[in-house]
Structure 1
């Protein structure tokens, strides 16, 4: 299964989590996931992709 969320480097050398399905930056818990360090964005991206994959598997069952 392909990841839905990915890291994108902005012009200011900060990172954001991008939703490839919606084609927009991710807002999670009323927080825009942008302007992050690479490690912060990578951690958020990993969690969001894991949640997405689990929900897809549950929906298929």
Structure 2
């Protein structure tokens, strides 16, 4: 009896439902990961030019009436 309990504790996927849930979760997690990567890629492209804003020709001091 002790060996059976030990075997059940050491077995990772001892149930078919557990395996199916892991496979479904893995597929869902990859879809979320792809969406996040696309959003990060869009942000990188959108803000790419903003780091060069201080290198543009700008007046040293703005006029007070502007």
TM-score, normalised relative to structure 1: 0.42
Greater percentage in helix = 2
Q: Tell me which of the two structures has the higher relative contact order, counting C-alpha pairs closer than 8 angstroms and 6 or more residues apart.
A: 1
TM-score, normalised relative to structure 2: 0.40
Which has the larger Rg?
Answer: 2
